[in-house]
Structure 1
């Protein structure tokens, strides 16, 4: 179920190794606050959505989806790619709860980190979907006016 929560953007317009996505802006720094609620192990859906929005705003989604591929050894672009990938990893690590972050410090790339997090926490989407469907099914018409659960359901099924 975890893979259904990840939507890989269309990259047909750019090469997977397009170096333009590897540029780090002077406004980018490791302690930049990307999102307010850190990943705590039970909030994968909202956390991952917030991180994807933040990375999309910085044109760095390719680093977690693997579409901004690492240049070959000896490439002039390799150093810039490493710098940017390290920055993206740092941003993500800074949005993970202090209680669980140490388990992810040794990820070798932003893509590897994202896949590891998704494998660990994204699997619970199916259980959450079942719980929400049960709660919606037991609601009366009047209770359905509360859109809180419906929004959660839409977030799960995409």
Structure 2
């Protein structure tokens, strides 16, 4: 064809394993999670969104690992694919954010900027949240709750506390002993 040359981007195809690949079933109406971010539930919502994006092979976008291609090649297949993915991910994120919060992210250009803005604004600092969770754990009583509900309540607190704990690498073998102590502590709480 006139104007097409073998060195151009016309023949490039985005591989299905690439984060730049959008499946034909991907649409702007996709819900990454059933949890809607309302400004107060970031710590519950963010991991659910990350999981949804990981399932779609798009996690690297919010992490900033998929860089915007050079705009000099605006018609390049990868540049077009990046713009489409970025727009799609912004739509997916808006779908799981309460409408009242949309104006606060409307003018961010990239999905990684949107994600970073939300994280900086709404992510609770570790120390106050850990303190709050430990207080909840101390006050958690079974009372009239069925065992299943009581255990679920405890497990939710334990899991969030683990989320805030620092994961340091242990070379002395004490990690297994620490994990055993934590499990014994959980059994005592229960």
TM-score range, shorter chain: 0.7 to 0.9
Show the counterpart of 1:132.
Answer: 133
Work out the number of aligned pairs and report it: 140
Superposition pairs of residues 1-158 of structure 1, within 5 angstroms: 20-75=18-73, 76=76, 77-137=78-138, 146-157=154-165
1:6-42 CA-to-partner distances (Å, cap 9, x unmatched) read xxxxxxxxxxxxx921111101000012111210111
Q: Distance in 2 between matches of 1:124 and 1:118?
A: 11
Equivalent in the alignment of 1:11:
none
For residues 27 and 44 of structure 1, the distance between their equivalents in structure 2, rounded to whole angstroms, comes to 28
The C-alpha deviation readout for 1:27-74, integer Å capped at 9, x for no partner, is 100001211121011111111001000000010011100001111123
Deviations 1:91-148 (A, max 9, x none): 01111011212211111100000000000011344422210122334568x9x96433
State the SS of the aligned residue for 1:117: helix
With the length of structure 1 as denominator, give the TM-score of the two structures: 0.78
Gaps of 5+ in 1: 1-18
Give the alignment's Cα RMSD to 1 decimal: 2.5
Which structure would you say has the larger Rg?
2
Q: CA deviation at 1:154?
A: 2.1
Contact (CA 8 Å) 2:43, 2:124: kept in 1 or not? Answer: no
What are structure 2's unaligned runs of at least 5 residues? 1-16, 144-149, 167-190
Secondary structure in 2 aligned to 1:34? coil
